Structure 1
């Protein structure tokens, strides 16, 4: 086993949340996805939504669409789904959606709890972030619910009639939608526009030597088989893989480049980022998660 992989594994075991520990076990050790579902259920509320800081930058227990998205992403990562759990979450999303089907990231209730500075009133506006990403995950998980076509119609109408967002986060959410929508020819045509917008978007870090906050090409194409890998030159992908490998810290984990609301949130984020970094580096062949024979048995 690659020592760097083992160091990252040990960091998650030592510092990560139960959710990241179980995701690691499912992704790399053959553990069943049921353990991930059990961990996700701990963040569920009676209204069917998810909260309790599942996305760690706000420590609010109330259900928020961003936390629903995080729950769906955990299921997609584990390649498992609890259909009843997700249908309840879609019932919640339907209740809080705007008339056009869009949902916001959060609601003003977060102001009663510790949160990162960037979680302010801009997160209360329904938009492609997170609506497009949520619908993409629901498609990926094979979920059928009235929320899905309603929200998908909002996404397509917005893509067809409004200028694309200038923020890399929203464009990344759109790519998540385009990857999984069943309307493939329409998605391929839209992806060209998104690619062009992404290169000049705010918070997009095309230069691998830029150590500031932002999304990189590996955020858009986190696995070697991503359909969006081809949006970037292979030299760009390899340079960002070099940077990602260099960023591993002495404790085995990866850093974050923003200010979470406290030490607990910082530790949770490092576990999330470390798991994502390991998955990306393994997918692209930069790390080995299994023991490699060195000679005759």
Structure 2
């Protein structure tokens, strides 16, 4: 286990962005979360939003909700505490929200820059992906804001008055919302139908050996303390076994889709490697040790 951790650490330090290096150091090497916040600031625009390819599938510098979501997910994972960063991001979201309280993943501005083929017109339509995920993350970090209120109301409306979406990422975003929203009784009422809908989808891979792109139980329950982990107790060990075996000889993990550039691929690999180590350590499959860290200790 020590060798696997050390190999992953070397990969992150050799190939990953500064952001993932700082997150790795915070999660596993005892570095303060302030380093993650400082790295995130480099992606934040004057309008409060995030861009500059923070989510690596598009190289657009403009602020986009998907990049805000990536920032908040990183912020939450690091346990950061920098309210001004989150407030500015929420203020930006208010400027791109439709009358229902929803935002879109992206905007046509991405067409002026390199992007993955799947980033096209469907990402310009406001919906639960990413609105529900953004609202859920704001509930997770306990940050109140008028945009969160509007987005929360939108999510309840989607759950209570409309068919559940057929796009798998939208359903996974709804589960993020249901996992963290404050109204637990209301969330628990809706969760079974959402989970049933997700697990019936072709792109949800209950079989860890399934090929091609899709979501797995470890995406829905990436850490052992996830509210959704008990739903997958009968298959979770198989997925953890598969994740362990998927570590590449260079120490990192790889991706199953085509990003827009070689740089994007490395950025994604850094991201998924940090996530893989985080999942494996949380579930007790990997254990960072002082011997494995050696000279990997961060500079404070």
TM-score normalized with structure 2 length = 0.95
SS in 1 for 2:235: helix
Counterpart in 1 of 2:261? 262
**Whole-angstrom CA distance in 1 between matches of 2:72 and 2:168:** 21
**Whole-angstrom CA distance in 2 between matches of 1:210 and 1:53:** 29
Q: CA deviation at 1:212?
A: 1.0
- Runs of 5+ in structure 2 lacking a partner? 293-300
Counterpart in 2 of 1:15? 15
Q: Does 1:248 align with 2:247?
A: yes
Counterpart in 2 of 1:150? 150
**CA-to-partner distance for each residue in 1:47-95, whole Å, 9 max, x for gaps?**
1100000000000000000000011111101001311111111111001
Counterpart in 2 of 1:280? 279
Q: Does 1:209 align with 2:234?
A: no
Aligned residues: 292
**Whole-angstrom CA distance in 2 between matches of 1:95 and 1:150:** 13
Matched ranges for 1:47-126 at <5 A:
47-126=47-126
**Whole-angstrom CA distance in 2 between matches of 1:165 and 1:3:** 42
**CA-to-partner distance for each residue in 1:98-157, whole Å, 9 max, x for gaps?**
011000000000000000000000000000000000011111122121101111000000
Q: CA deviation at 1:44?
A: 0.6
SS in 1 for 2:60: coil
**Whole-angstrom CA distance in 2 between matches of 1:178 and 1:81:** 23
**CA-to-partner distance for each residue in 1:26-56, whole Å, 9 max, x for gaps?**
0011110000000000001111100000000
**CA-to-partner distance for each residue in 1:147-180, whole Å, 9 max, x for gaps?**
0111100000011011112222111111111111
Write out the 4+ residue segments of structure 1 that deviate beyond 6 Å after TM superposition: none
Q: Given that residues 137 and 176 in structure 1 are in contact (C-alpha distance below 8 angstroms), is that contact kept between their aligned partners in structure 2?
A: yes
SS in 2 for 1:98: coil
Q: Given that residues 169 and 203 in structure 1 are in contact (C-alpha distance below 8 angstroms), is that contact kept between their aligned partners in structure 2?
A: no
Q: CA deviation at 1:182?
A: 0.6
**Whole-angstrom CA distance in 2 between matches of 1:81 and 1:42:** 17
Higher relative contact order (CA 8 A, sep 6+): 2
- Runs of 5+ in structure 1 lacking a partner? none
Q: Given that residues 167 and 202 in structure 1 are in contact (C-alpha distance below 8 angstroms), is that contact kept between their aligned partners in structure 2?
A: no
**Whole-angstrom CA distance in 2 between matches of 1:99 and 1:165:** 19
